[in-house]
Structure 1
Amino acid sequence: MAKTEICYLLLVLVVVELCSQPAAAGSPVKFLPGFQGPLPFELETGYVGVGDREDVQLFYYFIKSESNPETDPVLLWITGGPGCSALSGLIYEIGPITFEPVEYNGSLPTMILNPYSWTKVASIIFLDLPVGTGFSYARTPAALQSSDLQESDHAYQFLREWFVDHPEFLRNPLYVGGDSYSGMVVPIITQIIAIKNEIEIKQFINLKGYLLGNPSTFEGEKNYEIPFAYGMGLISDELYESLKTNCKGEYLNINPSNTPCLQDVQTFHKLLKGINNPHILEPKCKFFSPRPHLLFGQRRSLDEKFHELNNPQQLPALKCRTDWYVLCYHWADDGQVREALNIRKGTIGKWERCASLQFQKTVMSSIPYHASLSSKGYRSLIYSGDHDKAVTFQSTQAWIKSLNYSIVDDWRPWTVDNQVAGYTRSYSNRMTFATVKGAGHTAPEYKRRECLAMLKRWMSYKPL
């Protein structure tokens, strides 16, 4: 089915030339409420109209590289979800600014600099995608409908128009990146750009590759939660052996008549009830999270849905990680903030970090897109926080191995400041896989220094 999707995508892109849209026009942002003084980096925000009659208005944040923006790579970043705002990736993961990790006191949250921002080595476009995410909006009810393939096509339309307004970046290397559910769409977006370049539609985009963190890739990856839990010492030898024997590796679509397997899986879930999926070492808080994540269109269980993370070591002034997350709601809904960001009045009500969308998940596996991009010679970096149970490093390793490329640099540690930061392996298809030791579902949130070092080395074509 996935190969058919690629063929269909190629046919559509060859036959259908999209209507020309007016150039995007962004506005510089010199000051942000909550941050003292002028911003020490160059920020631009704006909208780009895509789709029929520009009924979809995509909002973006563009931050120039703090090193050498004339030649440094440009990274298009899509936060996961689908429906999680680009502001979340900017603030909590890889952007140059974040919130001071203190409890909300009723005033506007204080913003501080992130010394390990990925903008140290690249210019980044943080895009609210698909429509309905963050500050992106639709002009008509029909335009609110979206899907994996449509979202990916909108991303290409956005890039094409963005480069019309920013021609000085056309020669810079371009990478497409994201984490979590973006693992389904980033390879498709990259494929579209590659095909458009091949058939010479519009301007040539200097595409070099893509990167993904703890990426959702195929439906069966949840089967790897059990071997992950066993390897992490969360279940007993006896239960693991019984699960393997009774379920034969299939822990999701279980035959109702297979009572021993059902009982073992029930025991597994009971044992892991108190474990946080995004980072298994962090305890659960005892209050509800305002915005649960969705994976593969299925709502997480109530236990997972309403509990978030506590991280006293990294956020010592907070009881829970959600106390840090909640600051972005107060900040993004402030009138002065929206004015500073150039948000169009009346387009968005309450801002949501991860919105519920009218979205169809039509692509069940992005593996064929990885295979296609590899055959075209594009580079890729796939990294996994090794304490993430939501998308385990075992499931990511499994689909990478399924590509059947030979190993050119076998499993070894990679280090930062003479300390092991994770393990890595490189393949003949120019794909690099890396674990980030001690990190969770969005690795840069937990290990910022290490992830910046990883990115810098990879973008410089150096071994990790």
Structure 2
Amino acid sequence: MELPEAGNVSRIFLLSFFLVLVFSHIAASQTIVESLPGLPGKLPFKLETGYVGVGEMDEVQFFYYFFESERDPQFDPLLLWLTGGPGCSGFSAIAFEIGPVGINTTSFNGGLPSLTLNPYSWTKVASIIFIDAPVGTGFSYSTTVEGANSSDTINAAQIYTFLRKWMYQHPQFIGHETYIGGDSYSGITIPIVVTNILEGLEAGLNPHIDLQGYIIGNPVTDNYIDVNERIPYLHRVSIISDAYYEAAKLQCHGDYVNIDYNNTLCVTAMQNIKECYLQIKLTQILEPQCAFTKPKEPQWDVRSQEANTQDYLDANKLPELKCREFGYALSYKYMNDKSVQKALNVREGTVKNWARCLKVFPTYTENINSTVDYHKNLSNTGMRALIYSGDHDISVPYLATLTWIRLLDVPIFDEWRPWYVDGQVAGYQTKYMNDYYRLTYVTLKGAGHTAPEFKPKQALAMVDRFFARYPI
């Protein structure tokens, strides 16, 4: 029988109280993966893959990858990682951000791409579940047409149900310190999931999840703030001139989102600004822009930037210009290989083509415009929050994240100051604290939109210190 899905809507909880929890009939679908194509020998870490069904008839089948901590799985925390998008596979976070393996882009000469080991994997300090969510992402699928439809709130409720079921299948992790983490669009999903878990705990729902807090990087949080702060950020990093910035501020009245197109002075100011960043890579301003045809509009979404790299796979050779997107393209070649899917125990015929990130997601509705209020509510709980930003990201600039953090009205406990790795400044941090809540905000110097991808050593040091409650 399906677990009741506690969400932010009270009527869902009301229904939960009248449902009997029956877990003995939950069909486990999990397998230990001992080797992967493209990586010689036995895996030097424990990897489990499987499916967990949610919905009234388990019609939504979430695929997951679970890595036990390489340090001490008995005592290290458990982290549920939600990749952004919406519609980006958990394998993207594994291969390009915080997982123990990655796609080898230096030796590709056709055929199946090989894998490399990541010495800065977060699995060095935590056990991590990577989930393909929402439904329709990666290898997750629905057995019904209706089940394929999802939204911010539906997805968050289903992820909570997934976690509860997963823990019942893995009772050795019940009672472990647990965190919910992710980056980019997960900034919308995570505060809702955390809220759902807390509401479930208050309602006495089992299993008891020892939720300690949440971690979000370069988080999409508020549709207005995230976009509006791009213009001040462009000025701060010298992509636009003082004159262009002052003109836009004056003529657009500081609102760069709701532009009145009858206001020709504002339109002209914004056009001048757009010309300055049109050929800048918006997820990491110092890296080459790998969209080889001049775009008419800025490509805010990395999915658009990687799309044209797929053509190079047919040539079985990557171009000489080293672009991060080519690695993304190789992940399509790797994950759509039948031997790889067999090794991962993917159910045959359930997914036609694996995608790192869905370019179009017609069955998903983005129905939450802002999660600032969720964070405000969480600031009255005992949660610990780590919010971090790669400071070279335009798409969700660190200025936007600082703006909404200030709206929480949580007092500053420790002012902006540098933090260090190997004796070098790794970024800057500010700590916020009230009687209930601890929020640490961290920048990673030189990192882009998915910060661990660009600064893996520094990101691992950051999260290790956070888990250990050690000063970052």
Q: What TM-score do you get using the length of structure 2 for normalisation?
A: 0.90
Q: Which amino acid aligns with 1:414?
A: W
CA distance in 2, matches of 1:326, 1:392: 25
Whether contact under 8 Å (2:217, 2:389) holds in the other structure is: yes
Equivalence for 1:75: 79
Displacement of 1:286 after TM fit? 4.5
**1:128-171: CA deviation from partner (whole Å, max 9, x where unpaired):** 00000000001011111000010001101101110111000011
Whether contact under 8 Å (2:50, 2:345) holds in the other structure is: yes
Q: What secondary structure is seen at the aligned counterpart in 1 of 2:29?
A: coil
- Give the counterpart of 1:447 among 440, 451, 455: 455
Displacement of 1:126 after TM fit? 0.2
CA distance in 1, matches of 2:56, 2:15: 17
Relative to structure 1, the CA distance from residue 146 to residue 301 in structure 2 (aligned partners, 3 Å threshold; closer, same or farther) is closer
- Work out whether 1:408 is the aligned partner of 2:401: no
**1:165-217: CA deviation from partner (whole Å, max 9, x where unpaired):** 10000111000001000000011001111110111012111100000000000
Q: How does 1:300-315 map to 2 (within 5 A)?
A: none
Q: How does 1:66-145 map to 2 (within 5 A)?
A: 66-102=70-106, 104-145=108-149
Q: What secondary structure is seen at the aligned counterpart in 2 of 1:404?
A: coil
- Work out whether 1:391 is the aligned partner of 2:388: no
Equivalence for 1:337: 340
CA distance in 2, matches of 1:288, 1:127: 34
In terms of mean alpha carbon deviation, does 346-355 or 35-44 score higher?
346-355
Equivalence for 1:284: 289
Whether contact under 8 Å (2:291, 2:305) holds in the other structure is: no
**1:104-146: CA deviation from partner (whole Å, max 9, x where unpaired):** 4222111111000000000000000000000000101111100
Relative to structure 1, the CA distance from residue 302 to residue 327 in structure 2 (aligned partners, 3 Å threshold; closer, same or farther) is closer
Equivalence for 1:312: none
Whether contact under 8 Å (2:135, 2:142) holds in the other structure is: yes
**1:5-52: CA deviation from partner (whole Å, max 9, x where unpaired):** x99524422443567561533110000010010000000000000012
Q: What secondary structure is seen at the aligned counterpart in 2 of 1:410?
A: strand
Relative to structure 1, the CA distance from residue 286 to residue 361 in structure 2 (aligned partners, 3 Å threshold; closer, same or farther) is closer
- Give the counterpart of 1:275 among 267, 276, 280: 280
- Work out whether 1:461 is the aligned partner of 2:465: no
- Give the counterpart of 1:182 among 186, 191, 194: 186
Equivalence for 1:436: 444
Whether contact under 8 Å (2:309, 2:326) holds in the other structure is: no
Q: How does 1:166-315 map to 2 (within 5 A)?
A: 166-220=170-224, 221-287=226-292
Structure 2 portions without partners, runs of 5+: 1-5, 311-317
- Give the counterpart of 2:163 among 112, 134, 159: 159
Equivalence for 1:16: 16
Q: What secondary structure is seen at the aligned counterpart in 2 of 1:326?
A: helix
Equivalence for 1:147: 151
Q: What secondary structure is seen at the aligned counterpart in 2 of 1:434?
A: strand
In terms of mean alpha carbon deviation, does 19-28 or 367-376 score higher?
19-28
Displacement of 1:316 after TM fit? 12
Relative to structure 1, the CA distance from residue 385 to residue 228 in structure 2 (aligned partners, 3 Å threshold; closer, same or farther) is same
Relative to structure 1, the CA distance from residue 351 to residue 376 in structure 2 (aligned partners, 3 Å threshold; closer, same or farther) is same
CA distance in 2, matches of 1:364, 1:202: 31
Relative to structure 1, the CA distance from residue 228 to residue 305 in structure 2 (aligned partners, 3 Å threshold; closer, same or farther) is farther
Q: Which amino acid aligns with 1:346?
A: G
Whether contact under 8 Å (1:104, 1:323) holds in the other structure is: no
Structure 1 portions without partners, runs of 5+: 1-5, 309-314
Displacement of 1:89 after TM fit? 0.2
Equivalence for 2:313: none
How large is the Cα RMSD of the aligned pairs? Answer: 2.4
Q: Which amino acid aligns with 2:440?
A: T
Q: What secondary structure is seen at the aligned counterpart in 2 of 1:16?
A: helix
Relative to structure 1, the CA distance from residue 349 to residue 294 in structure 2 (aligned partners, 3 Å threshold; closer, same or farther) is farther
Relative to structure 1, the CA distance from residue 352 to residue 31 in structure 2 (aligned partners, 3 Å threshold; closer, same or farther) is same
- Give the counterpart of 1:349 among 352, 373, 380: 352
Q: What secondary structure is seen at the aligned counterpart in 2 of 1:54?
A: coil
Displacement of 1:307 after TM fit? 8.5
Relative to structure 1, the CA distance from residue 323 to residue 303 in structure 2 (aligned partners, 3 Å threshold; closer, same or farther) is closer
Equivalence for 1:27: 31
Whether contact under 8 Å (1:24, 1:162) holds in the other structure is: no
CA distance in 1, matches of 2:292, 2:42: 37
Displacement of 1:287 after TM fit? 3.7
Q: Which amino acid aligns with 2:374?
A: Y
Q: What secondary structure is seen at the aligned counterpart in 2 of 1:53?
A: coil
Whether contact under 8 Å (1:284, 1:307) holds in the other structure is: no
Q: Which amino acid aligns with 2:404?
A: W
Q: Equivalent pairs: percent with the same residue?
A: 45
Q: What secondary structure is seen at the aligned counterpart in 2 of 1:75?
A: strand
In terms of mean alpha carbon deviation, does 84-93 or 316-325 score higher?
316-325
CA distance in 2, matches of 1:316, 1:172: 46
Q: What secondary structure is seen at the aligned counterpart in 2 of 1:252?
A: coil
Q: Which amino acid aligns with 1:61?
A: Y
CA distance in 1, matches of 2:8, 2:299: 27
Q: What TM-score do you get using the length of structure 1 for normalisation?
A: 0.92
CA distance in 1, matches of 2:114, 2:321: 14
Q: Which amino acid aligns with 1:197?
A: L
CA distance in 1, matches of 2:189, 2:458: 26
Displacement of 1:377 after TM fit? 1.3
Whether contact under 8 Å (2:82, 2:133) holds in the other structure is: yes
CA distance in 2, matches of 1:46, 1:7: 24
Relative to structure 1, the CA distance from residue 174 to residue 301 in structure 2 (aligned partners, 3 Å threshold; closer, same or farther) is closer
**1:47-88: CA deviation from partner (whole Å, max 9, x where unpaired):** 000012111000000000001101110000010000000000
Relative to structure 1, the CA distance from residue 244 to residue 301 in structure 2 (aligned partners, 3 Å threshold; closer, same or farther) is farther
Q: Which amino acid aligns with 1:448?
A: P
